[in-house]
Amino acid sequence: MANTFALILVAVTLVTGLVWLLDHWVLVRIRAAKARQAQASAGSPLTAEAIEKLMTEPVWVEQCKGIFPVIAAVLVLRSFLYEPFQIPSGSMMPTLLEGDFILVNKYTYGLKDPVTNRTMLETGHPQRGDVIVFKYPENPRIDYIKRVIGLPGDRIIFRDKELYLQPACNDSKVCPQLQKINTTFVESGEFSQLGMPLEHYTEKLTATKNHDILRNNFIPDRTGMYYQQPGQPVGEWVVPEGHYFAMGDNRDNSQDSRFWGFVPERNLVGKAVAIWMSFEFDRPAGSSVPSWIPTGVRFNRIGSIQ
Protein backbone atom coordinates (compact mmCIF):
# COMPACT_ATOMS: atom_id res chain seq x y z
CA MET A 1 0.00 0.00 0.00
CA ALA A 2 2.82 2.41 0.89
CA ASN A 3 4.59 1.68 -2.42
CA THR A 4 1.33 2.17 -4.34
CA PHE A 5 0.72 5.52 -2.69
CA ALA A 6 4.29 6.63 -3.45
CA LEU A 7 3.85 5.62 -7.10
CA ILE A 8 0.56 7.54 -7.34
CA LEU A 9 2.15 10.57 -5.69
CA VAL A 10 5.05 10.55 -8.16
CA ALA A 11 2.72 10.07 -11.13
CA VAL A 12 0.39 12.93 -10.10
CA THR A 13 3.37 15.24 -9.50
CA LEU A 14 4.83 14.35 -12.90
CA VAL A 15 1.56 14.86 -14.80
CA THR A 16 0.62 18.15 -13.12
CA GLY A 17 4.19 19.41 -13.51
CA LEU A 18 4.17 18.62 -17.23
CA VAL A 19 0.85 20.43 -17.62
CA TRP A 20 2.31 23.47 -15.80
CA LEU A 21 5.33 23.48 -18.14
CA LEU A 22 3.14 22.95 -21.21
CA ASP A 23 0.98 25.91 -20.28
CA HIS A 24 3.99 28.11 -19.44
CA TRP A 25 5.86 27.42 -22.69
CA VAL A 26 3.13 26.54 -25.23
CA LEU A 27 -0.52 27.03 -24.29
CA VAL A 28 -0.19 30.61 -23.06
CA ARG A 29 1.39 31.59 -26.41
CA ILE A 30 -1.43 29.88 -28.29
CA ARG A 31 -4.00 31.85 -26.26
CA ALA A 32 -2.07 35.09 -26.89
CA ALA A 33 -2.01 34.38 -30.64
CA LYS A 34 -5.77 33.80 -30.62
CA ALA A 35 -6.27 37.10 -28.80
CA ARG A 36 -4.18 38.96 -31.41
CA GLN A 37 -6.06 37.23 -34.21
CA ALA A 38 -9.41 38.16 -32.66
CA GLN A 39 -8.32 41.77 -32.30
CA ALA A 40 -7.17 41.88 -35.92
CA SER A 41 -10.46 40.43 -37.08
CA ALA A 42 -12.45 42.92 -35.01
CA GLY A 43 -10.58 45.86 -36.55
CA SER A 44 -10.54 47.70 -33.24
CA PRO A 45 -8.98 47.15 -29.80
CA LEU A 46 -10.68 44.47 -27.72
CA THR A 47 -12.05 45.31 -24.30
CA ALA A 48 -10.10 44.19 -21.23
CA GLU A 49 -12.90 41.76 -20.42
CA ALA A 50 -12.69 40.14 -23.86
CA ILE A 51 -8.89 39.83 -23.68
CA GLU A 52 -9.10 38.30 -20.20
CA LYS A 53 -11.65 35.78 -21.44
CA LEU A 54 -9.43 34.76 -24.37
CA MET A 55 -6.36 34.47 -22.15
CA THR A 56 -8.09 32.48 -19.41
CA GLU A 57 -6.61 28.99 -19.12
CA PRO A 58 -8.88 25.92 -19.37
CA VAL A 59 -10.25 24.49 -16.12
CA TRP A 60 -8.11 21.36 -16.34
CA VAL A 61 -4.97 23.48 -16.76
CA GLU A 62 -5.96 25.74 -13.86
CA GLN A 63 -6.56 22.74 -11.61
CA CYS A 64 -3.24 21.09 -12.50
CA LYS A 65 -1.34 24.34 -11.90
CA GLY A 66 -3.05 24.70 -8.52
CA ILE A 67 -2.33 21.12 -7.48
CA PHE A 68 1.27 20.91 -8.68
CA PRO A 69 3.08 23.01 -6.03
CA VAL A 70 1.12 21.38 -3.21
CA ILE A 71 1.62 17.80 -4.40
CA ALA A 72 5.29 18.46 -5.20
CA ALA A 73 5.86 19.79 -1.67
CA VAL A 74 4.14 16.71 -0.22
CA LEU A 75 6.29 14.43 -2.40
CA VAL A 76 9.54 16.07 -1.26
CA LEU A 77 8.49 16.12 2.39
CA ARG A 78 7.27 12.52 2.43
CA SER A 79 10.08 11.06 0.33
CA PHE A 80 13.14 12.80 1.72
CA LEU A 81 12.31 14.46 5.05
CA TYR A 82 9.52 13.08 7.24
CA GLU A 83 6.68 10.65 6.71
CA PRO A 84 3.75 10.01 9.09
CA PHE A 85 2.84 6.46 10.11
CA GLN A 86 0.13 4.99 12.32
CA ILE A 87 0.91 2.23 14.81
CA PRO A 88 -1.53 -0.61 13.97
CA SER A 89 -0.58 -3.19 16.63
CA GLY A 90 0.82 -3.63 20.12
CA SER A 91 4.16 -5.20 19.16
CA MET A 92 6.10 -2.12 20.32
CA MET A 93 4.30 -1.61 23.64
CA PRO A 94 4.97 0.12 25.96
CA THR A 95 7.11 2.43 23.78
CA LEU A 96 4.40 2.75 21.11
CA LEU A 97 0.70 2.02 21.55
CA GLU A 98 -2.07 1.30 19.09
CA GLY A 99 -3.42 4.66 17.99
CA ASP A 100 -0.08 6.44 18.12
CA PHE A 101 0.76 8.52 15.04
CA ILE A 102 4.48 8.87 14.55
CA LEU A 103 6.92 10.81 12.39
CA VAL A 104 9.69 8.91 10.64
CA ASN A 105 12.89 10.70 9.67
CA LYS A 106 13.52 9.63 6.06
CA TYR A 107 17.04 11.05 5.61
CA THR A 108 18.78 9.61 8.71
CA TYR A 109 19.69 6.39 6.89
CA GLY A 110 20.11 7.83 3.39
CA LEU A 111 18.10 9.59 0.72
CA LYS A 112 16.08 6.99 -1.15
CA ASP A 113 14.15 6.75 -4.39
CA PRO A 114 10.48 7.13 -3.28
CA VAL A 115 9.29 4.33 -5.60
CA THR A 116 12.04 1.67 -5.53
CA ASN A 117 13.46 2.57 -2.07
CA ARG A 118 17.00 2.39 -3.49
CA THR A 119 19.53 4.57 -1.68
CA MET A 120 20.65 7.53 -3.77
CA LEU A 121 22.83 9.17 -1.11
CA GLU A 122 24.12 7.61 2.11
CA THR A 123 23.76 9.80 5.19
CA GLY A 124 24.11 7.32 8.06
CA HIS A 125 23.32 3.87 9.44
CA PRO A 126 21.07 2.56 12.22
CA GLN A 127 22.48 2.51 15.72
CA ARG A 128 21.73 -0.10 18.36
CA GLY A 129 18.51 0.92 20.13
CA ASP A 130 17.04 2.94 17.24
CA VAL A 131 13.33 2.43 16.54
CA ILE A 132 13.15 1.86 12.79
CA VAL A 133 10.51 1.52 10.08
CA PHE A 134 11.39 -0.91 7.31
CA LYS A 135 9.91 -2.96 4.50
CA TYR A 136 8.97 -6.39 5.84
CA PRO A 137 11.52 -8.72 4.19
CA GLU A 138 8.91 -11.39 3.40
CA ASN A 139 6.49 -8.87 1.88
CA PRO A 140 8.08 -5.48 1.07
CA ARG A 141 4.66 -3.93 0.46
CA ILE A 142 4.16 -3.96 4.25
CA ASP A 143 5.90 -1.53 6.61
CA TYR A 144 7.11 -2.85 9.98
CA ILE A 145 8.35 -0.96 13.02
CA LYS A 146 10.79 -2.55 15.50
CA ARG A 147 13.86 -1.71 17.56
CA VAL A 148 17.40 -2.38 16.34
CA ILE A 149 19.00 -4.95 18.64
CA GLY A 150 21.88 -6.24 16.53
CA LEU A 151 24.24 -4.51 14.09
CA PRO A 152 26.27 -6.23 11.36
CA GLY A 153 28.66 -8.75 12.97
CA ASP A 154 26.86 -8.86 16.33
CA ARG A 155 26.04 -12.17 17.98
CA ILE A 156 22.51 -12.32 19.43
CA ILE A 157 21.11 -14.95 21.81
CA PHE A 158 17.54 -14.96 23.08
CA ARG A 159 16.86 -17.66 25.66
CA ASP A 160 14.30 -17.94 28.48
CA LYS A 161 13.11 -14.40 27.72
CA GLU A 162 16.63 -13.07 28.35
CA LEU A 163 18.65 -11.21 25.72
CA TYR A 164 22.40 -11.74 25.30
CA LEU A 165 24.61 -9.66 23.03
CA GLN A 166 28.19 -9.89 21.78
CA PRO A 167 29.01 -6.78 19.72
CA ALA A 168 31.01 -7.21 16.52
CA CYS A 169 34.76 -7.27 17.02
CA ASN A 170 35.50 -4.86 14.15
CA ASP A 171 39.23 -5.72 14.09
CA SER A 172 39.71 -4.64 17.69
CA LYS A 173 42.66 -6.21 19.55
CA VAL A 174 40.33 -7.05 22.47
CA CYS A 175 36.97 -8.29 21.23
CA PRO A 176 33.82 -7.73 23.36
CA GLN A 177 32.50 -10.68 25.35
CA LEU A 178 29.01 -12.11 25.25
CA GLN A 179 26.96 -10.27 27.87
CA LYS A 180 23.47 -10.54 29.24
CA ILE A 181 21.53 -7.32 28.66
CA ASN A 182 20.57 -5.82 32.01
CA THR A 183 16.89 -5.34 32.81
CA THR A 184 15.22 -3.66 35.79
CA PHE A 185 11.72 -4.61 36.90
CA VAL A 186 9.27 -1.68 36.87
CA GLU A 187 5.81 -3.06 37.60
CA SER A 188 3.27 -5.72 36.68
CA GLY A 189 -0.33 -5.41 35.58
CA GLU A 190 -0.18 -2.00 33.89
CA PHE A 191 -0.45 -3.79 30.53
CA SER A 192 -2.11 -7.11 29.72
CA GLN A 193 -2.31 -9.60 26.87
CA LEU A 194 -5.31 -11.92 26.45
CA GLY A 195 -6.25 -11.21 30.05
CA MET A 196 -2.77 -12.06 31.36
CA PRO A 197 -0.77 -9.31 33.14
CA LEU A 198 2.50 -8.34 31.50
CA GLU A 199 5.67 -7.52 33.39
CA HIS A 200 7.18 -4.14 32.65
CA TYR A 201 10.99 -3.81 32.59
CA THR A 202 13.56 -1.20 31.65
CA GLU A 203 16.24 -2.68 29.39
CA LYS A 204 19.72 -1.15 29.14
CA LEU A 205 20.75 -2.02 25.60
CA THR A 206 23.75 0.34 25.53
CA ALA A 207 25.65 2.44 28.05
CA THR A 208 23.60 5.49 27.10
CA LYS A 209 20.26 4.07 25.89
CA ASN A 210 17.47 2.65 28.04
CA HIS A 211 14.06 1.60 26.81
CA ASP A 212 11.03 -0.20 28.23
CA ILE A 213 9.96 -3.72 27.33
CA LEU A 214 7.12 -6.07 28.27
CA ARG A 215 7.23 -9.80 29.02
CA ASN A 216 4.48 -12.37 29.38
CA ASN A 217 5.83 -14.92 31.84
CA PHE A 218 2.69 -17.04 31.51
CA ILE A 219 3.65 -18.30 28.05
CA PRO A 220 6.94 -19.93 27.00
CA ASP A 221 9.26 -18.68 24.28
CA ARG A 222 8.13 -19.88 20.84
CA THR A 223 11.49 -21.40 20.02
CA GLY A 224 9.92 -23.90 17.63
CA MET A 225 8.99 -21.00 15.37
CA TYR A 226 12.36 -19.24 15.47
CA TYR A 227 14.31 -18.60 12.30
CA GLN A 228 17.32 -20.92 12.42
CA GLN A 229 20.34 -19.37 10.78
CA PRO A 230 22.49 -21.97 8.98
CA GLY A 231 25.36 -23.05 11.22
CA GLN A 232 23.81 -21.57 14.38
CA PRO A 233 21.82 -23.20 17.21
CA VAL A 234 18.15 -22.32 17.64
CA GLY A 235 17.81 -18.97 19.37
CA GLU A 236 21.26 -17.76 18.32
CA TRP A 237 22.08 -15.50 15.40
CA VAL A 238 25.09 -13.70 13.89
CA VAL A 239 24.00 -10.60 11.99
CA PRO A 240 25.32 -10.65 8.39
CA GLU A 241 27.00 -7.64 6.81
CA GLY A 242 24.48 -5.13 5.48
CA HIS A 243 21.71 -6.45 7.75
CA TYR A 244 20.17 -5.73 11.15
CA PHE A 245 18.45 -7.74 13.88
CA ALA A 246 15.21 -6.10 15.04
CA MET A 247 12.80 -6.97 17.86
CA GLY A 248 9.58 -5.56 19.23
CA ASP A 249 9.53 -4.15 22.76
CA ASN A 250 6.49 -6.31 23.55
CA ARG A 251 8.67 -9.39 23.46
CA ASP A 252 5.96 -12.07 23.59
CA ASN A 253 3.67 -10.35 21.11
CA SER A 254 5.98 -9.44 18.24
CA GLN A 255 6.77 -11.08 14.93
CA ASP A 256 10.34 -9.95 14.43
CA SER A 257 13.86 -11.09 13.49
CA ARG A 258 13.58 -14.06 15.85
CA PHE A 259 10.97 -15.53 13.51
CA TRP A 260 11.84 -14.38 9.98
CA GLY A 261 15.50 -13.37 10.06
CA PHE A 262 17.36 -10.15 9.37
CA VAL A 263 16.42 -6.72 8.01
CA PRO A 264 18.42 -5.87 4.84
CA GLU A 265 19.76 -2.33 4.77
CA ARG A 266 17.99 -1.73 1.46
CA ASN A 267 14.63 -2.28 3.26
CA LEU A 268 15.13 0.60 5.69
CA VAL A 269 12.57 3.39 5.47
CA GLY A 270 13.72 5.62 8.31
CA LYS A 271 14.04 6.28 12.03
CA ALA A 272 10.94 6.82 14.19
CA VAL A 273 11.64 10.06 16.04
CA ALA A 274 8.41 11.40 17.54
CA ILE A 275 4.76 10.79 18.36
CA TRP A 276 2.78 13.72 16.95
CA MET A 277 -0.71 12.49 17.91
CA SER A 278 -2.16 9.61 19.93
CA PHE A 279 -5.78 8.45 20.01
CA GLU A 280 -7.29 5.93 22.38
CA PHE A 281 -10.04 3.55 21.32
CA ASP A 282 -11.06 1.93 24.62
CA ARG A 283 -14.80 1.51 24.99
CA PRO A 284 -17.14 -0.69 27.08
CA ALA A 285 -17.98 -4.17 25.81
CA GLY A 286 -21.04 -4.15 23.61
CA SER A 287 -20.67 -0.49 22.69
CA SER A 288 -22.49 0.51 19.50
CA VAL A 289 -19.79 3.06 18.59
CA PRO A 290 -17.70 1.86 15.59
CA SER A 291 -14.27 0.60 16.69
CA TRP A 292 -12.42 3.01 14.37
CA ILE A 293 -13.80 6.11 16.11
CA PRO A 294 -11.42 7.44 18.80
CA THR A 295 -12.73 7.83 22.34
CA GLY A 296 -10.07 10.30 23.42
CA VAL A 297 -6.70 11.92 22.78
CA ARG A 298 -3.61 10.93 24.80
CA PHE A 299 -1.84 14.30 24.85
CA ASN A 300 0.68 13.02 27.39
CA ARG A 301 2.15 10.67 24.76
CA ILE A 302 3.07 13.41 22.28
CA GLY A 303 6.83 13.86 22.11
CA SER A 304 10.10 12.18 21.14
CA ILE A 305 10.53 8.39 20.97
CA GLN A 306 13.11 6.70 23.19
Report the alpha-carbon distance of residue 245 to residue 261 in Å, rounded.
7
In degrees and rounded to multiples of 5, residue 17 shows phi and psi of -65, -40
Report the alpha-carbon distance of residue 179 to residue 164 in Å, rounded.
5
Instruction: Give yes or no: 304 in active site.
Output: no
Distances (CA, A) of 301 to 101, 164, 177, 187, 274: 10, 30, 37, 19, 10
Instruction: Give yes or no: 257 in active site.
Output: no
Catalytic-labelled residue, pool 106, 112, 135, 146: 146
Sign of the alpha-carbon torsion through 54, 58, 62, 65: negative
Sign of the alpha-carbon torsion through 209, 111, 3, 99: positive
Residue pair 94/191 in contact (Cβ under 8 Å)? The answer is yes
Report the alpha-carbon distance of residue 168 to residue 186 in Å, rounded.
30
Report the alpha-carbon distance of residue 276 to residue 270 in Å, rounded.
16
Catalytic-labelled residue, pool 79, 91, 254, 278: 91
Positions annotated as catalytic residues are: 91, 146
